[in-house]
Amino acid sequence: MAEKKNAVIVGGGTSKFGVRQAHLLDMIQEAMKACSDDIPALKPTDIDGLIVATTMAGRHSSALNTAPLVVHRLGLSPTAICIRLDTLCAGSNSAIIVAKGLVESGMAEAILVTGAEKVYMPQRWETNYTQLMVNDHDWDSAMGLGVPPPFFAMIAKMHMKRYGTTKEQMAAVSVTNYTYGEGHTKGHFAGRSLTIEGALEARIIADPFGLYDCCPLSDGASAVIIASEEKAKELTDRPPVYIRGTGQHASHSMSAGWPGETLAEWTHLKVAAEVAFKNARLTPKDIDVAQTHDCFTISEIIELEELGFCQKGEGGDFVASGAIDIDGEIPTNTDGGLLVYGHPFGASGARQSLEICKQLQGRAIHQVKDAAFGLAHNLSGTCSQHTVVIYGKEPVD
């Protein structure tokens, strides 16, 4: 019997995130240049697989057959796989799950996972109109629920009513993430700082959310290399970071199918996390650093609960206690997260996983001391799907 292969994340890079006067393919090239700089020994001929994660490429970039376009722009010639994948915000972490399977099966040795979105159009209304297409167009979208702030504002109101969560606790998430964003020059809001007072006094977007409770939509791209352990040793002398376990759960496509008792209960995330932890042979207590999908401050609070880092309903107190700070119980979104680094849908998952990779290799900008296990999480659409990827310095036995 052939020896089991282990899939690892080798390294990667991102483009500048923000409002860009650049085409989707230009930003992918920019991210790939950063990836090559991070892995100097990497050559185009090393890459035998390509997975491109994007949702808006066809509508906003006229790039329907996206993967072959990327192949040509990057000078690649993949022989194992060449596909585009679309799970919106979870796109590139979904692609990492696929890449893991291909590497561990022996079908590929080194796969480039790149995610990218061109979100902003000359007519800004086009972005929100496109967002209405991410869930059931006959039902929720017709009511305006395809545009995230109103939907997540309802979630926040429910969590506040049921568990006593406060705007001050949500502001604590924003302030922590802005602190983590310092030094990350490619982030959408790079170089900005925030105080609790500034967060609480910001203009209202959708009650109870102020401006800093909401992540920006961003143009941008990210790129990471997923390879076999053996191939990784040819590409870098940095310690390997193993993809230990994954979980992905989708339970509905519209609010009428919500799986929890209320919008404040995300049972579909809880299931995805349980699957990932079981596959990784770890528990929440083992995780040293996390990247969660902080599209809104309430999202990070609920995610910390459902991922098992604190008890249900205690997320507000947990974040306000300093538990997500760099020396806290579970440092979270240590590169600023979606709130600060930005959110080009398909690019966010790989950006998260790259930060976990750097943390476990001891080279992050805001380094968590002795980090050995890390977790990346995305939600997709109007919280209809959850994706969890767990990394470690050691493989699963």
The one-digit pLDDT tens for each residue of the chain (397 residues) are: 457 899 999 999 999 999 999 999 999 999 999 999 999 999 999 999 999 999 999 888 889 899 999 999 999 999 999 999 999 999 999 999 999 999 999 999 999 999 999 999 877 777 776 776 777 777 777 776 767 898 999 999 999 999 999 999 999 999 999 999 999 999 999 999 999 999 999 999 999 999 999 999 999 999 999 999 999 999 999 999 999 999 999 988 878 888 988 999 999 999 999 999 999 999 999 999 999 999 999 999 999 999 999 999 999 999 999 999 999 999 999 999 999 999 999 999 999 999 999 999 999 999 999 999 999 999 998 898 999 999 999 999 8
Same domain, 43 and 184: no
Q: Which tokens sit at 198?
A: 């500034």
CB 334 within 8 A of CB 327: no
Same domain, 310 and 181: yes
Length of the chain (residues): 397
Residue 125, phi then psi, degrees to nearest 5 = -65, -25
- Position 246 scores a pLDDT of 98
- Position 1 scores a pLDDT of 45
Q: How far apart are CA 241 and CA 358, in angstroms?
A: 9
- Position 123 scores a pLDDT of 76
Q: Which residue, of 172, 205, 235, is where some domain finishes?
A: 235
Q: Where are the alpha helices (DSSP H) in the chain?
A: 24-38, 57-61, 66-74, 91-105, 125-131, 148-163, 167-181, 196-201, 229-235, 267-280, 297-306, 315-320, 337-340, 348-361
User: Could you tell me if residue 114 is inside a domain?
Assistant: yes
Same domain, 151 and 88: no
User: Could you tell me if residue 295 is inside a domain?
Assistant: yes
Same domain, 48 and 145: no
Same domain, 225 and 203: no
This prediction has a pTM of: 0.97
Per the listing, tokens 């206690």 go with 321
Q: What is the CATH number of the domain that holds 143?
A: 3.40.47.10
Q: Which tokens sit at 39?
A: 């892995």
Domain extent, residue 320, equals: 139-215+247-390
- Position 304 scores a pLDDT of 98
Same domain, 194 and 265: yes
User: Could you tell me if residue 134 is inside a domain?
Assistant: no
Same domain, 118 and 145: no
Q: How far apart are CA 211 and CA 340, in angstroms?
A: 12
Q: Is 62 exposed, middle or buried (0-12, 13-18, 19+ CB in 10 A)?
A: exposed
The total number of structural domains that make up the chain: 2
- Position 142 scores a pLDDT of 76
Query: Looking at this protein, which amino acid is placed at residue 349?
Result: G
